[in-house]
């Protein structure tokens, strides 16, 4: 992976998978804006990005907030002078439960972060990507979006691959924006990222 000169915004960067992605991006040469609801976790990822040789920005943001997503995208663009990549990996610890056990507030919060967060972050970064005539937006999916999981209806609804919804993929924001073939990262790759993040070396 070659990302020299590129700049990325990663939501949920304080968590396991996105922290590993942030460090991998930094090792590949990218500057990384590390966005998370948890300030300490975002700051720690930014520290690891810097240690890996990348420029880093630590940002506290609730991805369910329109104003906050706009602010972090603009701040990242201001800091790095560009914004080439968005990775949306923020996710709440969703409570498991049957339909009868799940409250509307819990259901709504999962959708607000996982689904609406993807929309808001995309809307926040797209003006910069369109102006630069390029960019990549990555939503992290889960096999649970395909196979389902008892008691996790809200999560499974949000975690199908966007590519499973042809109407979404078929319409890039501008005619000049192509839709690149999906890279399906297998469970092995995901585990490898987690393993690298946990590994002392």
Ligand X SMILES: NC(=O)c1ccc[n+]([C@@H]2O[C@H](COP(=O)([O-])OP(=O)(O)OC[C@H]3O[C@@H](n4cnc5c(N)ncnc54)[C@H](O)[C@@H]3O)[C@@H](O)[C@H]2O)c1
Active site residues: 155
- Contact track, ligand X, 42-81, x by CB under 6 A: -------------------xxxx-----------------
CB of 190 vs ligand X, minimal distance in Å: 6
Question: Which one of residues 10, 12, 26, 129 is an interface residue with ligand X (CB under 6 A)?
Answer: 12
CB nearer to ligand X: give 2 or 184.
184
Question: Which residues lie below 8 Å from residue 45, measured CB to CB, with a gap of 6+?
Answer: 13, 14, 18, 19, 22, 23, 32, 34, 36, 56, 58
Q: Is 83 one of the binding residues for ligand X (CB under 6 A)?
A: no
Q: Is 21 one of the binding residues for ligand X (CB under 6 A)?
A: no
CB of 175 vs ligand X, minimal distance in Å: 30
User: Where would I find the beta strands (DSSP E) of the chain?
Assistant: 7-11, 31-36, 56-60, 85-88, 136-139
If DSSP codes are grouped into helix, strand and coil, which group holds residue 153? Answer: helix
Question: Which residues lie below 8 Å from residue 4, measured CB to CB, with a gap of 6+?
Answer: 28, 29, 30
Whose CA is closest to 61, among 80, 74, 48? 74
- Within 95-134, the residues that bind ligand X by CB under 6 A are 113
- Within 161-200, the residues that bind ligand X by CB under 6 A are none
C-alpha triplet 196, 44, 87: angle, nearest 5°: 65
CB nearer to ligand X: give 56 or 140.
140
Question: Which one of residues 3, 7, 9, 17 is an interface residue with ligand X (CB under 6 A)?
Answer: 17
Measured CA to CA, the distance from residue 74 to residue 120 in angstroms comes to 13
Question: Which residues make up the interface to ligand X (CB under 6 A)?
Answer: 11-12, 14-18, 36-38, 41, 61-64, 89-92, 113, 140, 142, 159
């Amino acid at each position: 992976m070659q990302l020299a000169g590129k700049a990325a915004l990663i939501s949920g960067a304080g968590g396991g998978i996105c922290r590993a992605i942030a460090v991998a991006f930094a090792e590949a040469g990218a500057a990384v804006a590390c966005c998370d609801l948890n300030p300490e976790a975002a700051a720690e990822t930014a520290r690891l990005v810097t240690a890996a040789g990348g420029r880093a920005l630590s940002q506290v943001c609730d991805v369910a907030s329109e104003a906050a997503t706009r602010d972090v995208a603009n701040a990242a663009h201001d800091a790095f002078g560009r914004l080439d990549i968005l990775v949306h990996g923020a996710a709440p610890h969703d409570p498991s439960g049957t339909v009868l056990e799940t409250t509307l507030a819990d259901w709504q919060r999962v959708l607000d972060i996982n689904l609406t967060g993807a929309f808001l972050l995309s809307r926040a970064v797209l003006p910069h990507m369109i102006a630069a005539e390029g960019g990549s937006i990555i939503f992290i999916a889960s096999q649970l979006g395909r196979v389902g999981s008892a008691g996790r209806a809200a999560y499974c609804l949000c975690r199908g691959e966007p590519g499973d919804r042809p109407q979404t993929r078929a319409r890039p924001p501008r005619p000049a924006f192509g839709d690149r073939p999906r890279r399906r990262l297998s469970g092995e790759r995901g585990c490898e990222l987690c393993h690298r993040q946990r590994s002392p070396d």
